[in-house]
Amino acid sequence: MSLFKQLGTNLKISTKIIHMKTTYKIINSNAVCTNMYEINPLKLVFPFQQFHRKYCFHSFREDETDSDAEDIEQKRDIKNIILLDNNDTLATKISECKSLQDIFDILQNNNNQLNWKNISMAIAMVRELQIIYYRVCMFEKNLNSYITPEDSFENILTNNDFLNLLNLMEEHFKFMNVQCLSYSLLCLHKIGVDINCIVSKKLSNRLQTILMTTPVEEVETCILSRFTVSIVSHRDLMGLYILKDIWPIVLEKLNLCETYEDIKHISICLYNLPWFLNKSVMDNFVTVVEHTLLNKPQHDDKIKCIVKVLRLINSPYWFNQNINLTRSLLLNLQGVIKHIALYDMIQLQMIIVKQSEPYQLFEEIHNETSKWLSKADVDTDITVLRLLSCIVPSSSASRRKHIESLLRKQFLLNNSFSQLCIGPLFNIIRNLKTSDLHICNAYWSSVLDWLISGKPSIREHHKLLRICNRYMNFNNNMSGTYRHYKFENQMINWLNEELEQGVSAIIPSKFSKIFSFFISYPNENIGYEMPEVMVKKVLDTVGQYSVYDCYIISRGLNTAFINRKNKTSLPMFLDQYVRLCTALNKRCLEILNQEPNLSIDQLNSLYRGYNHRYNVKEPELFYKILDRYKNFTSEHFSSRTIKELTYNLVTSDWYDAELLDKCLKYFIKNHKYLLAENVEKILTVFFLYGVNSEKFIEFLPYATEIINRDKLKMSGLNFMRASLALCYFYSLPSSIKDYLFSVEFLEKLDDELNNCYAKATYPLKVRQLLMILNRTVCIDYPEFDVPWFHTKYCEEIQSLVPKHTGSFYLDVEKKLGQLIKNKGYLKANSFSPYGYKLDFEIILNNSKQFKRENKNEKLTLLLLNEKDLRKTDNEMRGISKLKQRHLEILGYRVVWIKKSIWNSMFMTEPEAKLSYLKSLIWKKP
């Protein structure tokens, strides 16, 4: 009973501290303590510390705080991990146990002769059996597992034998060596015992004292990592206060790292202490890693070390600051992927997807995970889902169809998946972009049911905001076509409660996310106006928002505007929209002026946020963002940043030669690591603007090779876009042509169209692009002997094209009528061979009116509106240049009339427009 009394004594103090809020409201600690004491003295007052399946999720994921390798599916030799060279017979006997009951029986039968070694081994084996239970028995349903279903770990915190083990640990912890002490503390955390439990506190206090009094040279890095993981898991101020004293030791050990094991454990420490990290520390860490890891012989310890290092340098703030090191470490794993455990594989896949390179490892991981998937039992749970989450992004249309069928059958429509599957399922469905709304609805309905029926802890504000962000990303991936109104309404109700009762209203980074979601999804129940009180709060506190906060709000405003575009009478919303966009533009200008060292990622976020506010422009901000990119060289770029930058440039319809040349320098230097997806993006940019440069011409052979290499894996639309760009620059090889017009590719397109999510728009895009490609190859590459098979399609399109009614067109038509009296020589709204639309077609001959040597010359007069010209220099875009080239090959003389010239000042003079037309039509040779 001593443990119970001590826990009860400490509950009042801990409860008051934990439940203090900004509203200065304190929950009745006595009532809470009494209630929790009666239920289970180990649970304290934190609902999220109750042991349910979330604990096995933490154990399974191994990507947040794990300190020791737990990625195997068999028992490890724990005895040699924590009690090396120990001959204690009882400890050896415990290490050989195959069930919980075996451990508890040994402890009970040998109660009088137990020592600290036996207790340490017992808690370590409880954790070991828990790992095996969840990974082998529960998740993989392996009937041959030596863990029986009766050994339920889900209720272990209320198990009397386990409570007795904790009492024994409290009696013997003072005698434990530092290895057993640290490992026992880590095991308690992993099993689910609260860090504020008295036994955990005693272990952590003693371990802290040992670490603070031991010479740094003698401190083992594995001890540091276990202690860091155990303490930081609680995520409170007390934990950070303890860890600030350990931080200097971590820094000193970093400088003393000499082995793979040391680097691995220091990486774990740094990853779990992001609040203490700065650029100086990270630079020092990178130097140590480059010296110790790179160009060294391959070894199992090295592989594990690389995975942990990659996880650290690819954490949110640092992922784009060490591109070369990340690539080098990833390439160090080439050829050994098959030896990497699944749980590390998932982390690696997330990293290379985030970096969008290197190609070699992406391909190797995909091949290995595909093999695993083909061998997996279809009834498995989380393992299959995590495999799928690795495979989907690079899967073919047929494989995606199979994955979708598997989801429909196994996980979603039968509602047979647990909360553990929510994250992996989101990644799968988002990347599938399925048109089956039943799957989407089943997923979001299940997420909502889980949130409603679960404990209050799963609806903590940071968890709700994570789910809100997922929903917004999902909606964006579906081009805004998907809505789940019940989910949206309930989330908004919870977010309202958080604003009224929680702390999010006074934290800019939290409020920006809530505001963004709140305004994005209007409906009849919520209303279509934005709450003025929230708008006023944003305007009053806009000076506190960071680059990312501004981006989040801008994304919400963009979604809000799109979802209200059919509502014509919303003057209040439009006023609010303009005020918010103006304030955000001003804030972004302040950030640029105050922070000279913004990273490329921050600039990309500023740029993208500016594009989201497309209805309220601020030229000064736009030019300053572009100018700030000039501070970077090609060495600062990466595939990911280039992908985001090119997207921003196309969205803002801006061509910047200097900036794109920097991107090309990076691509040329690192061409062997590039994915075709990124190459297509930059090819499309240069085609859209109808430009090239020396760097682009140098890059074209590499681009052609990469597109040809990945042609079987690219989506149909992306492959056709890349092929069209290559056609434009006369770089289309016969190998791409052969596949482009093969039955295999056309069947692949059919599959994509049948399963696409945006059936109102995507098939039209694909069909139109296929026609343009067919026409381009027929005209530019007659030697390929590709047949023209779009005649009927063009005729159908032509019958639907309305006659121009714009003032520009009608004015030109009127002047041409005055100039050309014989209507037989003038055609309006005609079409050329291969389906090009001609605004005006004029037949010139040697009649009295038309004195030219060339009889029956075909001349087409085409109109250029603002959208047909580049903003930067008012020159024609690529599609217009391609049209001119093809018409000239077909025998036309092409004359363009720019709207800006036609409506310019000097055209207001009498007869000026007629004279201008005469000079264009009867241009002297």
Average confidence (pLDDT) over 125-150: 59
Go through 6-25 and write b for each residue having 16 or more CB atoms within 10 A of its CB, e for each that does not: bbeebbeebbeebeeeeeee
In contact, 757 and 479? CB cutoff 8 Å? yes
Three-class SS string for 808-857?
Answer: HHHHHHHHHHHHCCCHHHEEEEEECHHHCEEEEEEEECCCCCCCCCCCCE
Of the two residues 728 and 349, the one the predictor is more confident about is 728
Q: What percent of the chain has pLDDT over 70?
A: 84
Q: What phi, psi does 316 have (nearest 5°)? A: -45, -45
46 CB-near residues (< 8 Å, 6+ apart):
18, 194, 457
Spatial contact of 429 and 443, defined as CB atoms under 8 Å apart: yes
Under the banding of pLDDT at 50, 70 and 90, the label for residue 23 is very low
Q: Over the stretch 195-238, which tens digit does the pLDDT of each residue have?
A: 778 898 899 999 999 999 999 999 999 999 999 999 887 666 77
Between 561 and 59, the more confident residue is 561
* Residue 885 predicted with pLDDT over 90: yes
- The answer, yes or no, to whether residue 13 has pLDDT greater than 60, is no
> What does the pLDDT read at residue 735?
95
Q: Give the count of beta carbons closer than 10 Å to the beta carbon of residue 350.
A: 17
pLDDT above 60 for 70:
no
Q: Which residues contact 496 (CB under 8 A, 6 or more apart)?
A: none
Lowest mean pLDDT among 244-253, 380-389, 517-526: 380-389
* Residue 163 confidence (pLDDT) above 50: yes
Output the pTM of the full model: 0.82
Buried-exposed string 412-442: b where 16+ CB fall within 10 A, e elsewhere: beeeebebbbbbbbbbbbbbbbbbbeebbbb
Task: Name the more confident of 696 and 430.
Answer: 696
- Name which of 73-87, 111-125, 786-800, 841-855 the model is least confident about: 841-855
Question: Per-residue confidence at 266, pLDDT binned at 50, 70, 90?
Answer: very high
For residues 808 and 373, which has the higher predicted lDDT (pLDDT)?
A: 808
Averaged pLDDT of the chain: 82
pLDDT at 136: 55
pLDDT of residue 673: 92
pLDDT of residue 577: 92
At 398 the pLDDT is 73
Position 381 pLDDT exceeds 70: no
Q: What is the pLDDT of residue 511?
A: 93
Q: Among 68-82, 89-103, 704-718, name the most confident range.
A: 704-718
pLDDT of residue 40: 33
Q: Span 835-853, mean pLDDT?
A: 71
Cα–Cα distance, 471 to 478 (Å, whole number)? 11
Cβ-based neighbour number of residue 618 at 10 Å: 17
pLDDT of residue 234: 67
Tell me the one-letter amino acid at 93: K
Q: What average pLDDT does range 690-695 have in this prediction?
A: 93
The mean per-residue pLDDT over the stretch 245-253 comes to: 93
Other beta carbons within 10 angstroms of residue 640's beta carbon come to: 20
* Res. 610 pLDDT band, cuts 50 70 90: very high
Please tell me the predicted confidence (pLDDT) of residue 383: 64
Select the more confidently predicted residue: 46 or 899.
899
Confidence at residue 17, expressed as pLDDT on a 0 to 100 scale: 28
pLDDT of res. 468: 92
Per-residue pLDDT, averaged over 813-842, amounts to: 88
Helices assigned H by DSSP within 634-733: 639-651, 657-669, 676-689, 694-709, 716-728
Residue 64 or 572, more confident: 572
